């Protein structure tokens, strides 16, 4: 099966590619020569995933899937949420985003958080949504050098280490994106 992943985020594409089973061919935006940003103007994570998938379907008429992910921190009123990539400004700077979260939690005793991913799959004229959530806590300082985004400060429940301290295979056992992708793959198996 061949599907396009509607994201310009190379880190996400590599992560998803590493989880795909044999027989699944993932195309990227470079395969269709799309270099401009796909609009993400929805106020919700789900809405952005839908918007990106629909953009590809409308402009290229190709089966595709898109995801949107947000870090939701309890003590920050579930921020940064849909603004996770741009929490500290439009330049999408991971370090500045992390710093803003840590500053917001400086005096917080509740450091609970969750990562949420929504995948929108547009296939044969129908849309299907898949959700993946992983709960955990925000560390007081960054640890680990793997991953991207908030990985150095997010520790999934019962793991004892951040996503950034895990190998990609290890992260894929716990991650929100892996959980949403597993649901999508299970669905695809039922229709193939």
**pLDDT: is 17 or 106 the higher one?**
106
| Residue 186 falls in the annotated catalytic set | no
At 109-157, the pLDDT tens digits run: 999 999 999 999 999 999 999 999 999 999 999 999 998 999 999 999 9
- The domains found in the chain, sorted by start residue, are 2-191 (3.90.950.10)
Q: What is the pLDDT of residue 9?
A: 80
Q: What is the pLDDT of residue 108?
A: 96
Phi, psi at residue 113, to the nearest 5°?
-160, 170
Given 31, 68, 94, 186, which residue is catalytic? 68
Confidence of residue 10 (pLDDT cuts 50, 70, 90): confident
- Nearest Cα residue to 3 out of 25, 29, 34: 25
Mean local confidence (pLDDT), 56-79: 96
């Amino acid at each position: 099966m061949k599907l396009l992943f509607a994201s310009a985020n190379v880190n996400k594409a590599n992560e998803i590619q590493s989880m795909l089973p044999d027989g699944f061919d993932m195309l990227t935006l470079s395969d269709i020569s799309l270099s401009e940003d796909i609009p993400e103007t929805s106020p919700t994570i789900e809405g952005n995933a839908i918007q990106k998938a629909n953009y590809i379907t409308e402009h290229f008429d190709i089966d595709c899937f898109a995801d949107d992910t947000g870090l939701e921190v309890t003590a920050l009123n579930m921020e940064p949420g849909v603004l996770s990539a741009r929490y500290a400004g439009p330049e999408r700077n991971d370090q500045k985003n992390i710093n803003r979260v840590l500053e917001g939690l400086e005096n917080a005793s509740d450091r609970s958080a969750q990562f949420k991913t929504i995948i929108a799959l547009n296939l044969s004229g129908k849309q299907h949504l898949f959700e993946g959530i992983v709960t955990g806590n925000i560390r007081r300082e960054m640890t680990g050098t793997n991953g991207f985004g908030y990985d150095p400060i997010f520790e999934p429940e019962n793991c004892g280490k951040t996503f950034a301290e895990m190998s990609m295979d290890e992260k894929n056992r716990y991650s929100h994106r892996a959980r949403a992708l597993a649901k999508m793959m299970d669905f695809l198996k039922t229709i193939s």
